[in-house]
A = this chain, B = another copy of it.
C-alpha cells in the first residue's frame, strides 16, 4: 500500500509584502507530498523536471522519506517555472511568469513499484494527464482525490468532466464550484457536482475555511485566523496533502474521518504560510502539528 501524489515539481519565484525569493522549489506535488509525508510513510511522487533542477531541491523530498523514483528528469530541458507577486491583502496575486517548459509534454510514467498505490492525489494539472495516471494504475486505488482549477474549466471542460467522473473526492474553491455547476448557492452547487461522479466535494474558501459535502451532510471547517501570512503559495496543496495523508494513515474512508482529514489538512496549510515556500513544511515536528490541530479544536468547539 502506498500514497501516490502526482502534480508539478517546479521553480517558484515569489514576492510578498514580506519579501522576495529567487527561484525556490515549488509545485503542487512538492507541497502535497511534503504535507502527506507527516502522516503516511509510503508517499511516492510522479512528476517531471528538467536537468536544471538542483539535486538539493530533490533532497528536500528525500529527507522526508518521499519516494522519487517516479520523478522524471529530462536531459536538456528546463523545469516548470512560475513567478507571482501577492498583493497587500495576500488574497490576490498577479502571475508574473508561467513557463511550462518540461511540463508541456508531460507523459506520466508509473514505476512498477508504484502499482501498490491505494491512495492517489491528483494535484492540479491537465485533466488529461490526471486521467492517464488513473488508467496506468493496474488496480483502481481505494481513494482518488482530485484538485483542479478554473483554468481547466475554461479550456478543457470535456476532459475535466470525464476525469471528475473517475474520482472519489473533488477539491475546488468556491468560485470554481459556482463556475462548474452554474449555481450560486454552494449547497445547490454541491448537489449538482455530487451527481458528476465524486462522492465527496470539498469547497475551499481560503481564509474562510472549507466545506465538505457528502450525501445530504455538510461539515464546515474554519481556517485559523493568522496575524501574519508570509507566503500563501502552496497552502491549497498542503491542505490536499495533509488531507489524503491523514486518510491513508487511518485507512478507513468515511464522513467522520474525512472531517478530521480536513482539520489536519487545514493545520498543515496554516503552518505552510508562516514562512516562504516549502521552508516551514519541510521540517515540522509531530508536536508542532499536534499543537496546531489543537488550536483548530479550540477555535471551533463550543458546548451548549
Contact = CB atoms under 8 A, between A and B. Distances in A.
15 contacts: A89-B184, A90-B184, A185-B227, A186-B225, A187-B225, A187-B227, A188-B227, A191-B227, A208-B208, A208-B209, A211-B225, A219-B300, A220-B300, A256-B303, A263-B302
Interface string A267-297: 0000000000000000000000000010001
A120 to B, nearest CB: 24
A302 B227 contact: no
A90 B184 CA distance: 9
B88 A226 contact: no
A220 B211 contact: no
Which residue among A89, A211, A225, A303 has the maximum number of chain B CB atoms within 10 Å of its CB?
Answer: A225
A165 interface: no
Interface residues of A, number: 38
A13 interface: no
Oligomeric state, in copies: 2
A153 interface: no
A212 B205 CA distance: 19
A256 B303 CA distance: 8
A302 B260 contact: yes
Nearest to A211: B225
A218 B299 contact: yes
A225 B219 contact: no
Contacts of A293: 304
A90 B303 CA distance: 32
A188 B185 CA distance: 31
A222 interface: yes
A16 to B, nearest CB: 12
Contacts of A263: 302, 304
Contacts of A301: 301
Contact of A302 (B186, B259, B303): B259
Nearest to A263: B302
A5 interface: no
A179 to B, nearest CB: 13
Contacts of A75: none
A228 interface: yes
A229 interface: yes
B220 A222 contact: yes
A117 to B, nearest CB: 27
Contact of A205 (B208, B211, B226, B229): B208
Nearest to A255: B302
Contacts of A191: 227
A227 B191 CA distance: 10
